[in-house]
Amino acid sequence: MHPKKATHQQTKRRNRDLVLKMIFERDPISRAEVARVTKLTRATVSDIVAGLIEEGLVKEAGYGESLGGKAPILLSLVADSRYVIGLNLAQDKFIGSVANLRGEIKETIELPVDDTVGEQALGLVYRILDELTSRGWRPLFGIGVGTPGLVNTREGIVVNAVNLCWQDLPLAELLRARYRLPVTVLNDSQAMAIGEFVYAGSHPSDGNLVVVNVKHGIGAGILINGRLFQGDGGGAGEIGHVVVHENGAPCRCGKRGCLETIASATAVVQRAVALAPEYAGSALGHDPRSISLESLESAWRADDPLARQVVSEAAQCLGASIANLVSVLSIHRIVLTGDMARFGDPWLQSVRESMVRASLARMAQDTQLEIGTLGFKACVLGASAFMLLENYDLLFTQAAE
């Protein structure tokens, strides 16, 4: 191919992606406004929009406010023009959902994991995807996976997921070969961060956000200028295995005293079981082996002393770790999500107090800490949104000119 022509085609594609991104983010928006924000000419924008309408991705939807002359026609994304599958492999059950371009979930399938690992866990992934890809949601433009562990996103490899016994698993390649669809693979906390960023709240599209996911493990996802920040090794935000208590409890990673051994959902249950004999007054003390996250939550809400101790200690430890994130990143918005969020505002308050105590006063004062609103959906939606945000090209069914 002639090099000059290739450049011209690349520019055309880049402009088209830019216009589509603008309509996605600022829906509904007029052609003139798209031209103003993207700095493309009105003629170029009109041309591109004609192509997007032909592709079925964009439609004209009513009129905007007139600024003197004729009222401008508004453009809107056709939410159901494409579908994407999002997977969350980080729960005690695998969850797969089909969503449209607006992140509206159309169908969800869940399968219990029950300590399934290795090839068998991969088999569960296939079962969910076999099912979801056969349900007639078309056109299906890709699969986005959120998985626990360290992930090489560029190559789609799960480097190490301890709970699933996956090491150097080429997940994207396997799924691509089986389903003939584009696949992206992300760490689940990073996926949740994207989900919360794109589909919850009113984050400016070029804003910053940290999402701390506190479930059986602990991880964070970091967005800088609206883009996921993975760091040089892909593990940016892996705060769960930072040692906070020398010679503390053993951790599943092989070390002792990691943040996870105190602040995670698994840790609070284990600590409550261990400490129960010392708490004669606690309702949980009667049958320590039956303590679960649910019973701990009820006890916490009833101000049970044992529940208060383990959950408060977990919150304090988490708050101190978040103070590190605050001082390294100076990002003002931090969202907490995952199983521990069930302990609600008093838990959040305790995390905040500890973060403030461990931070430079002025930096903590400017930091907003809140609980996420999407729950498990954050991961499936984030995994699918990542595919969309990184690959607008994949939305096009006709070959680029």
**Which span (68-76, 155-163, 178-186, 236-244) binds Zn ion, by CB under 5 A?**
236-244
Which H or E element spans position 229? strand 227-229
Least spacing, CB of residue 376 vs Zn ion, in Å: 24
Cβ nearer to Zn ion, comparing 214 with 348: 214
Rounded CA separation 332/286 (Å): 44
Cβ nearer to Zn ion, comparing 255 with 332: 255
Q: Give the pair of three-digit tokens for residue 304.
A: 């049970």
Instruction: Give, as ranges, the residues between 297 and 336 that touch Zn ion (CB under 5 A).
Output: none
N-terminal to C-terminal alpha carbon distance within the chain: 13
Least spacing, CB of residue 251 vs Zn ion, in Å: 3
Rounded CA separation 367/3 (Å): 49
Instruction: Give, as ranges, the residues between 112 and 151 that touch Zn ion (CB under 5 A).
Output: none
Cβ nearer to Zn ion, comparing 257 with 346: 257
Cβ nearer to Zn ion, comparing 85 with 251: 251
Cis before 139? omega within 30 = yes
Find all residues with CB under 8 Å of 115, minimum gap 6, and list them: none
CA–CA distance from 69 to each of 65, 149, 258 (Å)? Answer: 10, 56, 64
- Put residue 390 in one of left, alpha, beta given phi > 0 → left and psi -120 to 50 → alpha: alpha
**Which span (133-141, 191-199, 244-252, 389-397) binds Zn ion, by CB under 5 A?**
244-252
Of 164, 329, 317, 143, the closest CA to residue 231 belongs to 329
Cβ nearer to Zn ion, comparing 38 with 160: 160
Which H or E element spans position 44? helix 42-54
Rounded CA separation 357/75 (Å): 49
Instruction: Give, as ranges, the residues between 160 and 199 that touch Zn ion (CB under 5 A).
Output: none
Cβ contact 312:350 at 8 Å: yes
Cβ nearer to Zn ion, comparing 259 with 388: 259
Cβ nearer to Zn ion, comparing 159 with 371: 159
Cβ nearer to Zn ion, comparing 161 with 251: 251
Least spacing, CB of residue 267 vs Zn ion, in Å: 11
Q: x/- contact string, 363-382, with Zn ion (CB under 5 A)?
A: --------------------
**Which span (119-127, 209-217, 235-243, 325-333) binds Zn ion, by CB under 5 A?**
235-243
Rounded CA separation 373/336 (Å): 9
Q: Is 294 exposed, middle or buried (0-12, 13-18, 19+ CB in 10 A)?
A: exposed
31, 215, 216, 241: which one contacts Zn ion (CB under 5 A)? 241
Rounded CA separation 9/16 (Å): 10
Least spacing, CB of residue 339 vs Zn ion, in Å: 17
Least spacing, CB of residue 255 vs Zn ion, in Å: 5
Q: x/- contact string, 246-265, with Zn ion (CB under 5 A)?
A: -----x-x-x--x-------
Cβ nearer to Zn ion, comparing 51 with 240: 240
The reply on whether position 236 binds Zn ion by CB under 5 A is: no
Least spacing, CB of residue 266 vs Zn ion, in Å: 12
Least spacing, CB of residue 258 vs Zn ion, in Å: 3
| Sign of the dihedral defined by the CA atoms of residues 226, 84, 376, 184, in that order | negative
**Which span (6-14, 82-90, 125-133, 243-251) binds Zn ion, by CB under 5 A?**
243-251
Cβ nearer to Zn ion, comparing 40 with 258: 258
On the CB side of 321, how many CA atoms lie within 13 Å of its CA? 29
Least spacing, CB of residue 216 vs Zn ion, in Å: 12
Which H or E element spans position 100? strand 93-100
Residues that bind Zn ion (CB under 5 A): 241, 251, 253, 255, 258
